[in-house]
Structures are given as structure tokens and as C-alpha cells.
Amino acid sequence: MTNALFADIILPLAVKGRFTYRIPENIAEKVSPGTMVTVQFGGRKLYSGIVCSVHEKAPDVKNIRPVISVAEGTPLINASQLKLWLWISEYYLCSEGEVMKAAIPSEISLNNYKPRLETFINLSRKYSEGELNEILDKLKKAPRQQDILSAYIRLTGYTAETDILPISKSLLLSESHCSAGILETLTDKGILTSASQPVSRIPDTDSYKEPIKRLSEAQSVAFGSIKTQFLEKDIVLLHGVTSSGKTEIYIHLIEEQLKKGKQVLYMLPEIALTTQIILRLKRHFGGITGVYHSRFSDPEKVEIWKRIAEKDPLNSYRLILGVRSSLFLPFSNLGLIIVDEEHDGSYKQHDPAPRYHARDSAIMLAAMHNAKTILGSASPSIESYNNAVNGKYGLTELKERFGLIKLPTIILANTREAYRKKLMVSHFTPELLQSMDEALSKEEQIILFQNRRGFSPYIECSECGWIPVCIQCAVNLTYHKGIGKLVCHYCGYSTGMPSNCGNCHSTGMVTRGFGTEKIEDEIKIVFPAARVARMDQDTTRNQNSFNKIIRAFEERRIDILI
């Protein structure tokens, strides 16, 4: 009789420690560190947990609950991930369960992931040219059916000498302008067949397209400096002025690691930045480039997760571009981590736990893989710059802009004085309006930045000064004109726009301040001929919204972007 086996398991709970369960003999062979299992915790609640270790040491407890079931397939979590989870829980004073909740797209979706199925159409068998012509002649009395078969032949390029190629049902119907019922008639006749096949939710990119550009002299010096410092140090701070070409240096470093068969993680603080840079990286590295951020659905995240864990280099993502949550992906062979804009406050997770700093956690992750780390910034954080100056990190400086472009002129406008002299047009200074007018007359583009979304940061009673606040967070509610509601930007609570003051019942409710939505409204009044677009959290709810807006700006279909 074999000794009983036990598993130490992390559960997605804000409770310190791991929980020990007995492994039933019938599933013992399937349970190993990193596998996902289902267990009972508390009264009747079932949880998906991650096995950390398997052993024969029974805990000093009378009744040890058994593992109920185990997820099929290879372990979902590798040893490096478990090691990172433990470090984050200890360093940032939280439970491993809280780290697990942040790390895994959804323990349920990972366990019960179902591939996306799509219907494809094929010829039922190999037909000669004569046979196809005969079939098309017979279908003259059914022109719609003839259109579908002709569209199939045209789209697949089928000839008697080529293989039969499947084509998406939706594409075939779209191109032939026919209904599904007509297609079904052709399949009933045995001319075409239909079958469902799993397809990726994430469109693939063709492999390498553009060769990597040559570095300028200044970039070459910086690139050489980084490589030299990597011989002695694991972390190098690249301090380069804006537009100095740091990204091109990153691309050369990425290429070196990919040639060695290593993985590379390229981190950015914001999804919007990810959207712009991914286009550059995919032009060079193609289909091995993956993207990971919160706008992906859980099934899409699971697909990305599986592509990174894939051992076959032809089917795996080896260059991953992501925001702070990309730290938790199942890397097995990291060679380099790039933390771009390392000073940015968005790398810090504030709420909920784990309240980790992605830059510092990335450094630890790289150390666990014996990988190198690049911290890049035009204005480094005080702590990173101090570490570089004191020799803890390497330091490489890039002091000139690419192509020796001059730094922009910065004009400080005194809005208080402009208001006093009644020179302001709404919220815009005369200097800003004049510069915008000059840019538009030259057919140049304009970007206006405002650090508040919505129409107005708050509304106020003009009689008594009452301001509506969130019932849960006690912060001022922001007015969103587009949806006609007051919204809390902390918890998402929303309520209708009040017609009366909640204190004195006056009808004199007025908006105060301005956000991106209000700027958009007023810019359209000031410059009615200009094509205006707004990019903030409200206009980019969908996954591809950033891409669409940035592409429109690149194609000069937008004059003013807010």
C-alpha cells in the first residue's frame, strides 16, 4: 500500500498561508506543482486553487479534506511564477491568494476554457476542371447557388492541380452576397461540405516584414554601452531625452535575445502607449509578438497565456508587450525585460491587493530567470537614478534627439492674468488659440492634453455651494454630459444629473472646471471646420478603440486630438 499524498494549495482568498488537502489515489498521477485543482473550503464553497507542492507529510488535523478534481493538461503555473507570487506576497504584505487573483486571467476560464469555433466550407472532393464546369452549367437555373460555388473557386484559387482549401463560411457568404440557406442547399447536394474548426480569437501577424533600421552614431554608442555594462550588472538605466530613439535601441536588444531563443518582456505603463509601439514591433518581429492588457476578454487572455507557455517556438509568443499585469504570464526562458517610462506612477498597483510596483517586481522576475533588465526614461525616478549614480545599476545616457531635432519651445501661459483681462475664450488662453490657428492654417495636427475625463470634475449649487459626492467613496462626482450622469471615477457608482440642490433645493446647479469631454465640445465651437476626436477612457471602452483613433490620426483624418 502506498503512502497517502497531500498537496499544499494556494486559494484565491485574502488569507495568509497555504492549505493542505489529501490527494485521492485515482487522481494522484495528475496532481503536481502548478496544476489547478478544485477543493472545498469552509462550509460548502468550492474554489479553484493552485498546487504548490506534493508531499507525504500529513498535517496535524483530524479530518483532512480531499482534492475534489484536477484540471486536465499540463500544469498551468510554473515554478518561476510560484516563486514570484511568494516574493510579492511577502514583500507587499498580502496573501498568495490575492496575488493569484491578480495573476490568473480567471481561474474559472483557465480551467474551463473552450476554443472559439468557426464554420469552414470545403469542396466535398477533388473535382476536375470539366466536372466543375458541368456542375456550374447545371446550376444556371439556380444562379444564387452558382454564385456561391464561383466565389469559393475564386477565393481559394482552386484548380484540379491544387489542394482543397477551406474558407470561412462568413467570408464566403459575404463575398457571394448570398444567404446561409442557399449555401445549405449546396451542402445538401454534396457539392460542398461544412465543418467547425477551432480558431484563434487573436488575429495572427505575418512573420518578419521590415528589416531593423541601422542605429545612429549616438544610438550605437548607447547600445554598446548597455551591452558592456550588462557584462557586470544585471540592470541598466537608459536615460535618454524625449525622441532620442530609445525604442530603436530596445528593438536591437530584443533581436539579440530572440536569436538566442530567449523570451523578452517589454513593459509599458499605459494601454494607449502599447497600441502605438506594438505596430512598430510587429513590423519587425511579426507573429511571435504578443500583447497583454486588461482590454482583452478572459478567453483572449487564456489564449495569450497558452501561446506564451507553448514550447514550440513556431507557435509561441516570444516577445510580449504588456502593462503591469504581464509580469504574471508563464515565462519559462526570459532573457530580457524592458521597463519603458520606468518613472510612471501607473506601474504601481494601488487597489486592491497586491499593491505591487511592476518595475520593482520586474527586476525581481528578471533575477529569477537570470535575465537582464533595462529601465528606460527621459525623466527617471529618483530611486532609479540614485541607484544608477551610486553604481547599483548601470547608467547609459542618450543626450541628443534622433536626427538632431530641436527640443520644442515651451510657453508658460498665465491663465489667471488672462482671465482678469478677459482675454480667455472659454478655457483657452489667447496664446494657445493663436498657436492652434497657425497650425491648422499650415494643415498641421494638434494634440491637447487634459488630465481629467468627463465634462466637468464636479457640479455645485450656486446658492449654497452644495456638491454631490459618491455615497461610497465620499469624493466629488464627475459630470459626463454624453450619458447625462454623475459618475464616481473610483468605484464606478453613477446617478442621474440632479435638477435641484440636495441641500437648499435651489435649481441653480452649475458645472465647475472642465474635462476632456467639455474641451471637445468647446473646441468644435471655436474651430468648427476642424476634425476633432477625443481619446480617453470613455471613448476607448472597446479593445480596438485605441488602434482606430491612432490610425485615423496617422492617416491625417483627425486635425485635433484631445
| Mean pLDDT of the 170-190 span | 85
**Percent of the chain scoring above 90 in pLDDT:** 46
d(CA 500, CA 84): 53
- For residue 149, CA distances in Å to 137, 138, 457, 479 come to 11, 12, 59, 55
Residue 129, SS3 per DSSP: helix
Q: In the predicted model, is pLDDT for residue 111 greater than 70?
A: no
Residue 61 has pLDDT above 90, yes or no: no
* pLDDT greater at residue 6 or residue 180: 6
User: Three-state SS for 177?
Assistant: coil
Other CB atoms within 10 A of residue 257 CB? 19
**Other CB atoms within 10 Å distance of the CB of residue 111:** 19
Residues contacting 380, CB < 8 A, separation 6+: 237, 239, 342, 343, 388
- For the cut 80, the answer to whether the pLDDT of residue 478 exceeds it is yes
Q: What is the pLDDT of residue 112?
A: 62
Of 560 and 483, more confident: 560
- Confidence (pLDDT) at 113: 63
The pTM (predicted TM-score) of the whole model is 0.77
Least confident of 158-162, 256-260, 288-292, 385-389: 158-162
Who wins on pLDDT, 34 or 286? 34
pLDDT digits (tens, 9 = 90+) for 297-334: 778 888 888 889 887 777 789 999 999 999 999 999 99
The mean pLDDT value for 375-396 works out to 96
- The pLDDT of residue 205 is 57
Look over the chain and give the mean of its residue pLDDT values, rounded to a whole number.
Answer: 88
Calpha distance 394→385 (Å, rounded): 10
**pLDDT exceeds cutoff 50 at 545:** yes
Q: Is pLDDT above 60 for 280?
A: yes
pLDDT of residue 5 exceeding 60, the answer is yes
